[in-house]
A and B are shown apart, each in its own frame.
Chain A
Amino acid sequence: MQVRLEQLTKAFESRKKDSVIAVNKLDLTIESGKLIGLLGPSGCGKSTTLFMVAGIHDVTDGKIYFDDRDVTELSADKRGIGLVFQNYALYPHLSVWDNIAFPLLNSKDMKKRLKKQFAEQHSNSPNYKAYINKLVEDAAKLVEITAYLDRKPGELSGGQQQRVAIARAIVKSPSILLMDEPLSNLDARLRIQTRDEIKRIQQQTGITTIMVTHDQEEALAISDEVIVLKDGLLQQQGAPQDVYDNPANQFVAEFISRSQINMVHGKIATNKLYLGQEEWFPLPAPLMDQEVTIGLRYENIKHAMENIERSFTASVTAKARIGGISTVQVRLADGQQITLLNDHDESLRESERLNLVVKPQSILVFNQKGEKILQC
């Protein structure tokens, strides 16, 4: 199902101060069947947006459409969504089976729907009870927890608990699956495992899925599309690689790169780009003279054999090695530091002068407001 947000706004009233705007006039379209990563630093309004789509927070202004249906005023249970919480929100006193079956057995609307489905489908189940059991087992099978149906949530690992939570959300075959930071309570190894599980489950079911996360790596790894928010404002929406390669502004560039980017001070004067104080190269198209910030990702800076076009020189100040990744720090003529990946050259010595070039289309130039004015 397609999800469309129109000028969606959420303001939280606070008695003492002015109301806080958590989500600000958000316009978004999420295509059917996609896995979307809703990404941003904490406090950017991503969870608030999710909970508005879920129907848990009411909307201050704007509209939410599921396909062409306006669901803005609809209560959460009428929207046909499945919701997965960061802390799993499993019922601790119920077995895994009971947890998954809970949505099927405890809602009047759901019961009506299931009874109808059961009558129409002439399914293989001999009776209604067996039909319910089959639905529960199918969901459990999908998330691979059939072995634990009799256990209590407390007897499962975090990753297994999260699978149960996902099974509980999809057992009622929702048209949209919403996940609020589903991985952030897991340890690093489980996080990657569960992340890939989510991708697999989403592809198998084809449910439109929105996953909120503050971890760009998580979002980039499994999303069909990422949406980056900051201070309740949409920054960028697009395919993960596209957002990574072509960030819309300085915030997205820094956030998506997870600090693996140099932000170097520079300027534009008489249509030439200056790296620090040094003239670097003439602009491909004319721009106003101004101070700029130049974004250079670690992995895009390469050694050049000699002084070629767009190369610049810097001297080595330090080397570092973290696991398999080796970096080197260099200093520009005006003292600014740049870090780059040290691909192969282990023989670099301190204060050695290097010729460096930057991969084409990966020099990101931002103005003082953080807007991208040039990428070349």
Chain B
Amino acid sequence: MKPQSMSNLFRYFLLSLSAAIILVPFYWMINTSLKTNAEILRIPPTLFPSEFRFQNFADAIVKAPILTYLLNTVVVALSVVAISTVVSVLAAFAFARLNFRGKQILFIVILGTMMVPQEMLIITNFMTIADLGWMNTWQALIAPYCINAFNIYLLRQTFKQVPDELYLASKVDGVSNFRFLRKIMLPLSKSTIVTVMILSVIWIWDTYAWPSLVTTKDSMRLVSNGLQNAFTNDSGRIQYEIQMAASTLVILPLVFLFLMLKKYIISGMVKGGIKG
């Protein structure tokens, strides 16, 4: 075998291995979601459902207000995407193109917030939200996600790759900064912006600790919390097959979104100089 194909073989082996590691939990979720309650308790566990029980999905929708959770999540995700994208784009443009006093320091401070674990911020954020009397409100769920240091960083890197001359040319022609951003920067950075939007959606979809802190009412819960709490039977035992069916339902929109926008996400990551 030629050395070239040997190294390819090794590469594919590594890729297959990491793909397997990532895919196994997904497989197990779907596997579980189709089993009967009895089969779940069987030891050793079965790799494939002996009998498909699609009823689990119907049960999941009926047993818990999973549709309400989904709707809540969509509302929060859309709001966060709208606000944080606008904020990130404007901030990134300022960092990439404009000159103002303290630009470098401010940028380092924003990058610095990426080093602080989210869990540490939760306490102070919670105190702020509680003081504002925002418990169980939309703004409590939305506000903390509106500024995203990573998105600002990724967009700034992308904006910086747009040649200076394009900016200078439009300056000579009397084009305002805002118009240049809208007409030139944004179309040229489309894929990164889509990436940033998707990342925000995923972030909201997956977020757990914060929404469970600031919401106490079922009507304000997001999917992640709903999944945790809703599927216990009368004896206090979690009904895994229904929980997994609900989980499958919950990730479906994300999977579709990803497949639809795959092209943008990958080129956006590459463009930003960060290989995902």
A residues adjacent to B (C-beta < 8 A): 54-56, 76-78, 81-83, 85-87, 89, 91-93, 102-103, 106-110, 168, 172
Report the nearest B residue to A171, measured CB to CB: B173
User: Smallest distance from the beta carbon of B149 to chain A beta carbons, Å?
Assistant: 27
Q: Which residues of A contact B174 (CB under 8 A)?
A: 77-78, 103, 106-110
Which one, B80-88, B121-129, B180-188, is touching chain A? B180-188
Nearest 9 A-B pairs (CB), nearest first? A77-B174, A107-B174, A89-B165, A103-B173, A85-B165, A89-B169, A106-B175, A76-B172, A93-B187
Instruction: Give the CA-CA distance A85 to B169 in the complex, in Å.
Output: 8
CB <8 Å contact, A56 and B171:
yes
Q: Which residues of A contact B106 (CB under 8 A)?
A: none
CB <8 Å contact, A81 and B172:
yes
Instruction: Give the CA-CA distance A166 to B176 in the complex, in Å.
Output: 22
Instruction: Give the CA-CA distance A277 to B169 in the complex, in Å.
Output: 57
When A and B form their complex, what is the total count of cross-chain residue pairs whose Cβ atoms lie within 8 Å? 60
Instruction: Give the CA-CA distance A77 to B180 in the complex, in Å.
Output: 14
Report the nearest A residue to B167, measured CB to CB: A89
Beyond A85-B168, A102-B173, A110-B174, 8 extra complex contacts between A and B, CB < 8 Å: A54-B172, A56-B171, A77-B171, A78-B174, A89-B163, A89-B169, A91-B184, A103-B173
Instruction: Give the CA-CA distance A83 to B171 in the complex, in Å.
Output: 10
A87-B165, A106-B179 known; A172+B173 contact, CB < 8 A: yes
CB <8 Å contact, A56 and B173:
no
Report the nearest A residue to B188, measured CB to CB: A93
A91-B184, A92-B188, A106-B183 known; A83+B175 contact, CB < 8 A: no
For residue B170, CB closer than 8 A to chain A, the reply is yes
CB <8 Å contact, B168 and A107:
no
Encoded as 1 (CB less than 8 Å from any A CB) or 0, chain B from 174 to 209 comes to: 111001000110011000000000000000000000
Encoded as 1 (CB less than 8 Å from any A CB) or 0, chain B from 69 to 109 comes to: 00000000000000000000000000000000000000000
Q: Which residues of A contact B172 (CB under 8 A)?
A: 54-56, 76-77, 81-83
CB <8 Å contact, A107 and B175:
yes
User: Smallest distance from the beta carbon of A230 to chain B beta carbons, Å?
Assistant: 26
Q: Which residues of B contact A109 (CB under 8 A)?
A: 174
For residue B238, CB closer than 8 A to chain A, the reply is no
CB <8 Å contact, A83 and B188:
no
Instruction: Give the CA-CA distance A56 to B184 in the complex, in Å.
Output: 19
Instruction: Give the CA-CA distance A168 to B173 in the complex, in Å.
Output: 10
For residue B166, CB closer than 8 A to chain A, the reply is yes
Instruction: Give the CA-CA distance A113 to B152 in the complex, in Å.
Output: 38
User: Smallest distance from the beta carbon of A25 to chain B beta carbons, Å?
Assistant: 26
